[in-house]
A and B are shown apart, each in its own frame.
Chain A
Amino acid sequence: MKKTSSIIATFILCYLFWILFTLTFTAQELIAGAIVSLLVALFAEKYLIHEDAFHLLKPNVLLNFITYVLFVFPVELWKANVDVAKRALSPNLPINPGIVKVPVDLQSEYGLAMLANSITLTPGTITMEIVEEDGQHFYYIHWIDVASKDPKEAGNIIKGKLENWIRRIWK
Protein backbone atom coordinates (compact mmCIF):
# COMPACT_ATOMS: atom_id res chain seq x y z
CA MET A 1 0.00 0.00 0.00
CA LYS A 2 2.77 2.39 0.98
CA LYS A 3 4.72 1.41 -2.12
CA THR A 4 1.70 1.93 -4.36
CA SER A 5 1.03 5.42 -3.04
CA SER A 6 4.67 6.44 -3.45
CA ILE A 7 4.65 5.11 -7.04
CA ILE A 8 1.51 7.15 -7.72
CA ALA A 9 3.06 10.29 -6.19
CA THR A 10 6.24 9.95 -8.27
CA PHE A 11 4.17 9.26 -11.37
CA ILE A 12 2.11 12.41 -10.84
CA LEU A 13 5.25 14.51 -10.39
CA CYS A 14 6.92 13.13 -13.54
CA TYR A 15 3.76 13.43 -15.62
CA LEU A 16 3.19 17.01 -14.48
CA PHE A 17 6.69 17.98 -15.60
CA TRP A 18 6.23 16.12 -18.91
CA ILE A 19 3.03 18.03 -19.62
CA LEU A 20 4.60 21.37 -18.64
CA PHE A 21 7.59 20.73 -20.89
CA THR A 22 5.70 19.56 -23.98
CA LEU A 23 2.44 21.53 -23.53
CA THR A 24 0.91 19.89 -26.60
CA PHE A 25 -2.22 17.95 -25.67
CA THR A 26 -2.28 15.41 -28.50
CA ALA A 27 -3.08 11.80 -27.60
CA GLN A 28 0.29 10.57 -28.84
CA GLU A 29 2.28 12.87 -26.53
CA LEU A 30 0.07 12.16 -23.53
CA ILE A 31 0.28 8.36 -23.88
CA ALA A 32 4.06 8.38 -24.45
CA GLY A 33 4.44 10.63 -21.40
CA ALA A 34 2.31 8.34 -19.26
CA ILE A 35 4.37 5.27 -20.21
CA VAL A 36 7.71 6.99 -19.60
CA SER A 37 6.50 8.49 -16.30
CA LEU A 38 5.24 5.11 -15.11
CA LEU A 39 8.61 3.45 -15.89
CA VAL A 40 10.50 6.23 -14.11
CA ALA A 41 8.12 6.02 -11.15
CA LEU A 42 8.59 2.25 -10.84
CA PHE A 43 12.37 2.55 -10.68
CA ALA A 44 12.86 5.87 -8.88
CA GLU A 45 10.11 5.69 -6.25
CA LYS A 46 12.36 4.23 -3.53
CA TYR A 47 14.89 7.05 -3.90
CA LEU A 48 12.38 9.88 -3.96
CA ILE A 49 9.74 9.02 -1.36
CA HIS A 50 10.81 8.00 2.16
CA GLU A 51 7.93 9.31 4.21
CA ASP A 52 4.23 10.00 3.73
CA ALA A 53 3.81 10.27 -0.04
CA PHE A 54 0.97 12.80 -0.16
CA HIS A 55 1.99 14.90 2.85
CA LEU A 56 2.57 17.97 0.68
CA LEU A 57 -0.98 17.87 -0.71
CA LYS A 58 -2.69 18.50 2.64
CA PRO A 59 -4.30 21.96 2.30
CA ASN A 60 -2.61 23.78 5.19
CA VAL A 61 0.77 22.22 4.40
CA LEU A 62 0.42 23.18 0.74
CA LEU A 63 -0.54 26.73 1.71
CA ASN A 64 2.51 27.06 3.97
CA PHE A 65 4.72 25.58 1.25
CA ILE A 66 3.50 28.06 -1.38
CA THR A 67 3.89 30.99 1.04
CA TYR A 68 7.42 29.85 1.83
CA VAL A 69 8.48 29.40 -1.80
CA LEU A 70 6.87 32.55 -3.18
CA PHE A 71 7.19 35.08 -0.34
CA VAL A 72 9.32 34.11 2.69
CA PHE A 73 12.31 32.64 0.89
CA PRO A 74 12.65 35.27 -1.90
CA VAL A 75 12.84 38.03 0.73
CA GLU A 76 15.71 36.27 2.51
CA LEU A 77 17.32 35.55 -0.87
CA TRP A 78 17.18 39.22 -1.84
CA LYS A 79 18.67 40.41 1.48
CA ALA A 80 21.55 37.91 1.32
CA ASN A 81 22.23 38.63 -2.36
CA VAL A 82 22.46 42.37 -1.79
CA ASP A 83 24.75 41.77 1.19
CA VAL A 84 27.18 39.55 -0.74
CA ALA A 85 27.10 41.80 -3.81
CA LYS A 86 28.04 44.76 -1.57
CA ARG A 87 30.91 42.75 -0.10
CA ALA A 88 32.20 41.77 -3.53
CA LEU A 89 32.02 45.33 -4.88
CA SER A 90 33.30 47.26 -1.86
CA PRO A 91 36.95 48.34 -2.17
CA ASN A 92 38.39 46.75 0.99
CA LEU A 93 36.61 43.34 0.59
CA PRO A 94 35.12 42.94 4.11
CA ILE A 95 35.05 39.16 4.54
CA ASN A 96 35.51 37.11 7.69
CA PRO A 97 34.99 33.46 6.66
CA GLY A 98 34.70 30.43 8.90
CA ILE A 99 32.97 27.08 9.35
CA VAL A 100 30.44 27.00 12.19
CA LYS A 101 28.39 24.20 13.70
CA VAL A 102 24.72 25.02 14.15
CA PRO A 103 21.97 22.98 15.89
CA VAL A 104 18.74 22.32 13.97
CA ASP A 105 15.41 21.31 15.51
CA LEU A 106 13.97 19.32 12.63
CA GLN A 107 13.34 15.58 12.44
CA SER A 108 12.01 14.95 8.93
CA GLU A 109 14.54 14.08 6.20
CA TYR A 110 12.76 16.38 3.75
CA GLY A 111 12.76 19.24 6.22
CA LEU A 112 16.48 18.86 6.88
CA ALA A 113 17.24 18.73 3.15
CA MET A 114 14.98 21.70 2.41
CA LEU A 115 16.54 23.87 5.12
CA ALA A 116 20.07 22.85 4.05
CA ASN A 117 19.31 23.74 0.44
CA SER A 118 17.69 27.04 1.46
CA ILE A 119 20.83 27.92 3.42
CA THR A 120 23.08 26.93 0.51
CA LEU A 121 21.01 29.00 -1.92
CA THR A 122 21.26 32.20 0.11
CA PRO A 123 24.66 33.63 -0.86
CA GLY A 124 27.07 33.90 2.04
CA THR A 125 26.27 30.55 3.61
CA ILE A 126 26.85 27.02 2.27
CA THR A 127 25.91 23.86 4.14
CA MET A 128 28.84 21.44 4.26
CA GLU A 129 27.54 18.47 6.20
CA ILE A 130 24.60 17.27 8.29
CA VAL A 131 25.42 15.12 11.33
CA GLU A 132 23.27 13.57 14.03
CA GLU A 133 24.45 13.40 17.64
CA ASP A 134 22.07 11.91 20.26
CA GLY A 135 18.95 12.68 18.23
CA GLN A 136 19.93 16.32 17.67
CA HIS A 137 20.88 17.32 14.12
CA PHE A 138 23.72 19.72 13.39
CA TYR A 139 24.77 21.54 10.23
CA TYR A 140 28.33 22.51 9.44
CA ILE A 141 28.01 25.79 7.57
CA HIS A 142 30.67 27.76 5.73
CA TRP A 143 29.86 31.38 6.43
CA ILE A 144 31.42 34.34 4.67
CA ASP A 145 31.04 36.70 7.63
CA VAL A 146 31.19 35.00 11.04
CA ALA A 147 29.19 37.40 13.18
CA SER A 148 29.04 35.08 16.20
CA LYS A 149 30.87 31.93 17.30
CA ASP A 150 28.15 30.88 19.73
CA PRO A 151 26.18 28.02 18.07
CA LYS A 152 22.71 29.22 19.13
CA GLU A 153 23.26 32.83 18.14
CA ALA A 154 24.96 31.89 14.86
CA GLY A 155 22.01 29.59 14.13
CA ASN A 156 19.55 32.42 14.73
CA ILE A 157 21.43 34.73 12.38
CA ILE A 158 21.85 32.15 9.60
CA LYS A 159 18.47 30.42 9.71
CA GLY A 160 16.39 33.43 10.66
CA LYS A 161 12.71 32.80 10.00
CA LEU A 162 13.36 29.94 7.58
CA GLU A 163 13.47 27.17 10.18
CA ASN A 164 10.11 28.05 11.74
CA TRP A 165 8.45 28.12 8.34
CA ILE A 166 9.95 24.75 7.37
CA ARG A 167 8.82 23.26 10.67
CA ARG A 168 5.29 24.23 9.74
CA ILE A 169 5.66 22.25 6.51
CA TRP A 170 7.63 19.15 7.51
CA LYS A 171 7.45 19.02 11.34
Chain B
Amino acid sequence: MIARIIIDLFLLLGCFFAFAGVVGLIRMPDSFTRMQSSTNIATLGVLWTVLGVAIYAFMNNNIAFGIKVILIGVFVVITSAISGHAILRGAYKHGIRPDNLVVDEYRRDNPDE
Protein backbone atom coordinates (compact mmCIF):
# COMPACT_ATOMS: atom_id res chain seq x y z
CA MET B 1 0.00 0.00 0.00
CA ILE B 2 2.69 2.49 1.03
CA ALA B 3 4.85 1.42 -1.89
CA ARG B 4 1.87 2.04 -4.18
CA ILE B 5 1.58 5.61 -2.84
CA ILE B 6 5.30 6.19 -3.36
CA ILE B 7 5.04 4.94 -6.96
CA ASP B 8 2.09 7.23 -7.63
CA LEU B 9 3.99 10.15 -6.10
CA PHE B 10 6.95 9.50 -8.42
CA LEU B 11 4.69 9.30 -11.48
CA LEU B 12 2.96 12.53 -10.44
CA LEU B 13 6.30 14.31 -10.05
CA GLY B 14 7.31 13.08 -13.53
CA CYS B 15 4.01 14.37 -14.93
CA PHE B 16 4.51 17.72 -13.23
CA PHE B 17 7.95 18.30 -14.76
CA ALA B 18 6.77 17.15 -18.18
CA PHE B 19 3.84 19.58 -17.86
CA ALA B 20 6.15 22.45 -16.84
CA GLY B 21 8.40 21.64 -19.80
CA VAL B 22 5.51 21.69 -22.27
CA VAL B 23 4.14 24.95 -20.87
CA GLY B 24 7.61 26.45 -21.24
CA LEU B 25 7.84 25.06 -24.77
CA ILE B 26 4.69 26.96 -25.72
CA ARG B 27 5.37 30.19 -23.83
CA MET B 28 9.09 30.81 -24.39
CA PRO B 29 9.83 33.49 -27.01
CA ASP B 30 12.63 31.92 -29.14
CA SER B 31 14.10 28.54 -30.12
CA PHE B 32 17.00 28.60 -27.66
CA THR B 33 14.93 29.23 -24.54
CA ARG B 34 12.38 26.69 -25.78
CA MET B 35 15.16 24.11 -25.85
CA GLN B 36 16.12 25.01 -22.30
CA SER B 37 12.58 24.36 -21.16
CA SER B 38 12.35 21.05 -23.02
CA THR B 39 15.37 19.79 -21.05
CA ASN B 40 12.94 19.62 -18.10
CA ILE B 41 11.05 16.82 -19.86
CA ALA B 42 14.13 14.85 -20.86
CA THR B 43 15.67 14.88 -17.39
CA LEU B 44 13.38 14.86 -14.37
CA GLY B 45 10.20 14.20 -16.37
CA VAL B 46 11.73 10.94 -17.60
CA LEU B 47 13.75 10.08 -14.49
CA TRP B 48 10.89 10.26 -11.95
CA THR B 49 8.62 8.24 -14.23
CA VAL B 50 11.33 5.64 -14.84
CA LEU B 51 12.03 5.40 -11.12
CA GLY B 52 8.36 4.85 -10.35
CA VAL B 53 8.04 2.13 -12.99
CA ALA B 54 11.27 0.48 -11.80
CA ILE B 55 9.99 0.29 -8.21
CA TYR B 56 6.73 -1.20 -9.49
CA ALA B 57 8.68 -3.80 -11.50
CA PHE B 58 10.96 -4.77 -8.60
CA MET B 59 7.99 -5.06 -6.25
CA ASN B 60 6.42 -7.59 -8.60
CA ASN B 61 9.73 -9.52 -8.67
CA ASN B 62 10.17 -8.75 -12.36
CA ILE B 63 13.92 -8.02 -12.24
CA ALA B 64 14.48 -8.09 -16.02
CA PHE B 65 11.74 -5.50 -16.56
CA GLY B 66 13.12 -3.24 -13.82
CA ILE B 67 16.67 -3.30 -15.13
CA LYS B 68 15.52 -2.57 -18.68
CA VAL B 69 13.47 0.39 -17.46
CA ILE B 70 16.46 1.80 -15.58
CA LEU B 71 18.64 1.34 -18.68
CA ILE B 72 16.07 3.29 -20.72
CA GLY B 73 16.42 6.13 -18.21
CA VAL B 74 20.22 6.03 -18.45
CA PHE B 75 20.20 6.10 -22.24
CA VAL B 76 17.63 8.89 -22.48
CA VAL B 77 19.72 11.02 -20.14
CA ILE B 78 23.03 10.34 -21.92
CA THR B 79 21.69 10.89 -25.45
CA SER B 80 19.51 13.91 -24.70
CA ALA B 81 22.56 15.82 -23.45
CA ILE B 82 24.41 15.32 -26.73
CA SER B 83 21.39 15.90 -28.96
CA GLY B 84 20.51 19.10 -27.07
CA HIS B 85 24.02 20.43 -27.59
CA ALA B 86 24.01 19.47 -31.29
CA ILE B 87 20.59 21.00 -31.99
CA LEU B 88 21.42 24.28 -30.27
CA ARG B 89 24.74 24.63 -32.06
CA GLY B 90 23.11 23.66 -35.36
CA ALA B 91 20.41 26.28 -34.85
CA TYR B 92 23.02 28.95 -34.10
CA LYS B 93 25.18 28.08 -37.11
CA HIS B 94 22.08 28.00 -39.31
CA GLY B 95 21.65 31.68 -38.54
CA ILE B 96 18.98 31.86 -35.85
CA ARG B 97 19.82 34.98 -33.80
CA PRO B 98 17.24 35.78 -31.12
CA ASP B 99 17.05 39.51 -30.47
CA ASN B 100 16.52 39.15 -26.73
CA LEU B 101 20.06 37.95 -25.93
CA VAL B 102 21.56 40.24 -23.30
CA VAL B 103 25.10 39.11 -24.12
CA ASP B 104 26.45 37.04 -27.05
CA GLU B 105 30.12 36.29 -26.59
CA TYR B 106 30.16 33.61 -29.29
CA ARG B 107 29.23 36.26 -31.87
CA ARG B 108 31.89 38.59 -30.44
CA ASP B 109 34.64 35.95 -30.83
CA ASN B 110 33.44 34.52 -34.17
CA PRO B 111 31.94 37.52 -35.98
CA ASP B 112 31.93 35.97 -39.47
CA GLU B 113 29.98 32.80 -38.68
Q: What is the interface of chain A, defined by CB distance below 8 A to chain B? A: 17, 20-21, 23, 77-78, 81, 84-85, 87-89, 93, 95-101, 116-118, 120-129, 140, 142, 144, 146, 149
Contact = CB atoms under 8 A, between A and B. Distances in A.
Given A97-B32, A121-B77, A142 B88 contact: yes
A85 B89 CA distance: 23
B39 A146 contact: no
Nearest to B45: A81
B73 to A, nearest CB: 12
A123 B23 contact: no
Interface in B81-113: 81-82, 84-85, 88-89, 92, 98, 100-107, 109
A130 to B, nearest CB: 10
User: Which of A93, A98, A146 counts the most chain B CB atoms within 10 A?
Assistant: A98
Contacts of A125: 36
Contact of A89 (B20, B29, B68): B20
A122 B98 CA distance: 22
Judged by DSSP, the binding face of A is mixed
Contacts of B82: 117, 120
B10 interface: no
A69 to B, nearest CB: 10
B102 A98 contact: yes
A97 B33 contact: yes
B36 A124 contact: yes
A149 B28 contact: no
B81 A23 contact: no
Nearest to B87: A126
Nearest to A123: B39
B36 A96 contact: no
Given A23-B63, A81-B43, A123-B40, A97 B88 contact: no
B103 A88 contact: no
Contact of B36 (A77, A78, A142, A149): A142
Contacts of B92: 128
Contact of A98 (B21, B30, B78, B104): B104
B27 A88 contact: yes
